[in-house]
Structure 1
Amino acid sequence: MKNTEDERIETSLDMDWVASLEMKVSDTKFRDRNREPTIYRVPDMLKSVDPQAYEPLLVSLGPYHRDKPHLQAMNRLKWKYLKFVLEQNPGMVMKDYVGLVKGLETQARVAYSEEVKMSSNSFVEMMLLDGCFLMLTIMGWTHRMEISEESTWWTHFNALQDIFMLENQLPFFLLETLYQYAFPHGDRFRSLTVELIRMRISSDLKPPSNKKTFHHIIHFCLSCIDPTTNPEKDYLGPGIPWIPSATIFNEAGIHFGRKKRYKSFLDITFHNGKLEIPQLRIEDGINSLLRNLIAYEQCSMNSKFRVTSYMVLMDSLINTAADVELLQQHEIIIGDLGDNQEIATLFNKLGTNVSYTSYNFYLADVVNAMRKHHDTRCNKWRARLNRDYFSNPWAVISLFGALALFVLTVIQTTYAVLSYDRSSN
């Protein structure tokens, strides 16, 4: 008789092996650090959809991309920016700035989600150079400063896109501290950053509370563009329902309009059958900007998912080139990125491999009101009447002609019946 599989398994335990398992469990910590990281690597599942959207084009800020060959050319300019900073405050010399950054080193290191394998001196040098570069680049936009012949408009324009990449962030407390000592009599660094975000996103932003702390520029940006005032209501139900496309909504009587006064492009409202959406300019860099804002929301433990929610709605509204054309007619989408199908594809791909739930869906009230309007039968009839008979002057003329003919027919028939009754009597 052949032995069964169970009979061939060794029944005695290797206690040395068990002890090694216990040792591994003992050495495993629930938390590897005292605080959560805030500057993350973009997850591979997001990066695989569009790798270039997360790759710096011109300059490396922080440790993640510092060794990339195509970013080395900007290192020379970083030293010139540092020299400029050293000339601003006579009371601060190189030793003072190095000591300042050295005191923040531990806090800065743990901000990154990956262990930064650099010596202390190399890390402090990198933070000082990159911090000065970022400060002066922002001032180049807000104050039109030109520090050297290499500090051109082209440099500022291309560096701007890199500043809003998740893997290219610097700790905000480091930037605020450096700026405070370099420009003690200047505007607050937060005020400059608000101006930069206004230029980048073209919205009527209001600075967030000075009492709040921020992790980096992306985190600061998300706070600036958040249009909500009551986050407790951000719940749509057990799940996000099917949201029809713009053309389908339009056929159901929902009108679209460009919102004239708004806090940011996220400030979408629905009232009296009209969906008002702030204008979004589709241009170079908008894909990268949206993707990196979404990537941070996907990684952060305390995310409000504002840009992710915006993406869910816009991805639902835009399925085809016809949907893009409808939004363009109302000046909700403008720009020259490509044809309408390319723009539709851009929005449709933003949600690939992105996770979201009905919680923290700040557009819950908007979607619920739109669905209710869409599902009301009388609104569909009214919309069909407007589309089929009032969409152009000839249709209106035909409709009134048919009505007039119908009325004349009724009058003629009534007159004939009355004449017949009179003759019979």
Structure 2
Amino acid sequence: MKHIRVAGSSSSYISVFSLFKADFQLIDANAHEMEANNVRNKNLASSIQGKLQQQSPLRSHHSIFRVPNVLRNDNERVYVPRLISIGPLHHGSKLQTMEGIKLWYLHCLLQRDQTRKTGLEHFVEAIRDIEQDCRDSYEEQIDMSSDDFVEMLVVDGCFIIELFRKSSGEVPTKEEDPVFHKSWIHTPLINDLLLLENQLPWRVLDRLFDLTLETSAGNNNHISLPEITLRYFEVYSLGMLSRTYRASGSKHLLDFIRNSLIGWYQSDDAHMPLSLFKIPSATELAGSGIILTTGRKYDGMLNKTFEDGVLRIPPIRVCKNGESLFRNLVAYEQCETTTGVSKYASYAVLLDHLIKSKEDVELLVKRGVIENFGDDMAWLLNNLSNGIIVYNFTYRRIYENLNTFCGTRWDRWHAYVRAAFRIYFRNPFELMNFTNAVFIVTLLTLIQTTYSVASYYKPQQ
């Protein structure tokens, strides 16, 4: 073995070997550390791999959602149930008053027809068959056992069906029924049943409805589930439910109401991102000569038209649950990926642009666009479109035509004349009264002017 001799003392050999030994130890430590890191990296990668979702969380079969915080915008009260919980998202909350009523309603349903061949076992079996499909309807992972989940669907679904039948008169109500004999329950209950977070899949209601049809003699003319649902919500659904309801394809109660409100709505094909596209307020439009009036109610609340200086808006009824229903419809549309065009979001933007002050509300009430039943209309002034993202604004063409019209002086003057004749001269008597009034005012003004001139030139005594 050949040694390297370093000039100096004999201790130089020892120093060199010590350096080599330290280097080897450092290399060995680095190798161990790298191996340990590789193991940790593999374990972490395996852990992440186990958490990966093979499908997008925004799958098309999701239809019941938590309202995103960006849409809540300090309006928690219009999204969270106050009286009754329906479905799993608020199940087990402190809303216990109605839990006993649910079970009592189920008891009444089962006891009413002693000859019924169906019963709880049939209900459970029918809902168990669609359990996974129902779980998939919710965007959130439902942390409930199979039995608890099916029980909840059966109890909640039977309560809703029994409620609808009692409300329609198909089933008699009892004097001790608090739902119909305590006035404070009625409106909050309707409100809670139309919350996005408080829904059951429509399939649950459909199956239970068919299973609970009365079979006794003389009671064969049954109201369908869509019609009985329409009857229950009609007064408290912005006054705009279309008789041409479309139950097929409905995903839950809120979705059914949404489809009914749309009616025969034909979307403007000139969609565009909203950006800074705006129109003047209602009073400003009227000041520009545009006539604001109502459209046909049963065409659907979304059908707006602007033609020959006339902006037609189907009437919207302001009820106690109006804000909650409207905001939940918008939230549903914002969460649902299959609804396509932003219909209700566009409508919210339109209302925001038209209504900037109480004067705007008063004008729309006067024109019949808003049917005010004495309820608080402050929500119409409360920034309805805050937090809303409008990808396809459906009123682009109307906006363009309104802005063009407002910018044309001749059209504005022509509209003033046309509006005057439509408002004041609807019959010969109004025209005669108007003419007489103009003549009298002109005559009085002329007499006053003559008297003033004569007094000024009167000779001094």
| TM beyond 0.5 | yes
Amino acid at match of 2:62: P
Q: 1:130 Cα shift?
A: 0.3
Structure 2 match to 1:5: none
Measure the CA separation in 2 of the matches of 1:113 and 1:293: 17
Structure 2 match to 1:7: none
Q: How does 1:232-247 map to 2 (within 5 A)?
A: 233=269, 235-236=271-272, 239=275, 241-247=277-283
- Of the three residues 212, 224, 228, the one matched with 1:188 is 224
SS state of the match for residue 197, structure 2?
helix
Identity among equivalent pairs (%): 26
Q: 1:367 Cα shift?
A: 2.3
Q: How does 1:274-293 map to 2 (within 5 A)?
A: 274-293=310-329
Distance 1:238 1:295, change over 3 A: closer
- Of the three residues 196, 201, 216, the one matched with 1:171 is 201
Structure 2 match to 1:137: 163
- Alpha carbons 1:141, 1:156 under 8 Å: kept: no
Deviation track 1:125-155 (CA, whole Å, cap 9, x = no partner) reads: 1111100111122223333745441231533
Q: How does 1:14-413 map to 2 (within 5 A)?
A: 14-27=37-50, 28-31=52-55, 36-69=61-94, 71-87=95-111, 88=113, 90-143=116-169, 145-148=171-174, 149-150=176-177, 151-153=179-181, 154=183, 155-183=185-213, 185=220, 186-201=222-237, 202-203=239-240, 205-209=242-246, 212-228=248-264, 230-231=266-267, 233=269, 235-236=271-272, 239=275, 241-303=277-339, 304-333=341-370, 334-338=372-376, 343=378, 346-357=380-391, 359=392, 361-382=393-414
Distance 1:126 1:142, change over 3 A: same
Bigger radius of gyration, 1 or 2? 2
- Alpha carbons 2:244, 2:263 under 8 Å: kept: no
Distance 1:371 1:189, change over 3 A: same
Amino acid at match of 1:216: H
Measure the CA separation in 1 of the matches of 2:265 and 2:313: 18
SS state of the match for residue 349, structure 1?
coil
Distance 1:396 1:127, change over 3 A: same
- Report the number of matched residues: 383
Amino acid at match of 1:122: D
Distance 1:237 1:75, change over 3 A: closer
> 85-94 vs 317-326, which deviates more?
85-94
Distance 1:17 1:277, change over 3 A: same
Q: 1:92 Cα shift?
A: 0.3
SS state of the match for residue 389, structure 2?
coil
Structure 1 match to 2:12: none
Measure the CA separation in 2 of the matches of 1:398 and 1:353: 56
Structure 2 match to 1:418: none
- Alpha carbons 1:137, 1:156 under 8 Å: kept: no
Q: 1:233 Cα shift?
A: 1.4
Q: 1:160 Cα shift?
A: 0.9
Measure the CA separation in 2 of the matches of 1:393 and 1:68: 68
- Alpha carbons 2:355, 2:380 under 8 Å: kept: no
Distance 1:81 1:279, change over 3 A: same
Measure the CA separation in 2 of the matches of 1:68 and 1:324: 38
Measure the CA separation in 2 of the matches of 1:23 and 1:326: 64
- Alpha carbons 2:303, 2:314 under 8 Å: kept: yes
Q: 1:197 Cα shift?
A: 3.9
Gaps of 5+ in 2: 1-29, 215-219, 425-433, 447-461
Q: 1:176 Cα shift?
A: 0.3
Amino acid at match of 2:342: F
Q: 1:362 Cα shift?
A: 3.1
Q: 1:204 Cα shift?
A: 5.3
Amino acid at match of 2:343: R
Amino acid at match of 1:336: G
- Alpha carbons 1:205, 1:225 under 8 Å: kept: yes
Measure the CA separation in 2 of the matches of 1:157 and 1:144: 21
Amino acid at match of 1:362: T
Q: 1:193 Cα shift?
A: 1.9
- Alpha carbons 2:309, 2:405 under 8 Å: kept: yes
Gaps of 5+ in 1: 1-9, 405-425
Q: 1:56 Cα shift?
A: 1.2
